[in-house]
Amino acid sequence: DTEVTQTPKHLVMGMTNKKSLKCEQHMGHRAMYWYKQKAKKPPELMFVYSYEKLSINESVPSRFSPECPNSSLLNLHLHALQPEDSALYLCASSQRLAGPYNEQFFGPGTRLTVL
């Protein structure tokens, strides 16, 4: 099973709301990723967790707050977002952080609209 699941599929929120995106994998992977993808652009890396510890933060604004409560679960907490944060948010996982044959598997994404 190479499945990464994400909830919700769609989310509409106002600029003063607080919401969370959830990602789950049961492949025993120890690295998990958040990407942001705007229309007609490639995905941009936001955060990487390895063994539940934050390894990479690509200078993401603090209104995005990641959390990795256990090895299977990754959350992205959202607060005081701007309309330009509207995008497809993708979660991915891989066996480990780096090395050969380290394939990344992606979830279906959450389509976020900020009003």
Partner 1 sequence: KQEVTQIPAALSVPEGENLVLNCSFTDSAIYNLQWFRQDPGKGLTSLLLIQSSQREQTSGRLNASLDKSSGRSTLYIAASQPGDSATYLCAPDDGGATNKLIFGTGTLLAVQP
Instruction: List interacting residues with partner 1 (CB under 8 A).
Output: 2, 4, 6, 41-43, 45, 48, 55-56, 88, 90, 92, 94, 97-109, 111
Q: How far is the CB of 110 from partner 1 (least distance, A)?
A: 10
Q: How far is the CB of 102 from partner 1 (least distance, A)?
A: 5
Q: How far is the CB of 71 from partner 1 (least distance, A)?
A: 18
Q: What DSSP designation does 71 have?
A: T
Q: How many Å apart are CA 1 and CA 18, to the nearest integer?
A: 32
Tell me the pairing of strands 110-114 and 10-13.
parallel
> Which residue is associated with the tokens 């959350």?
75
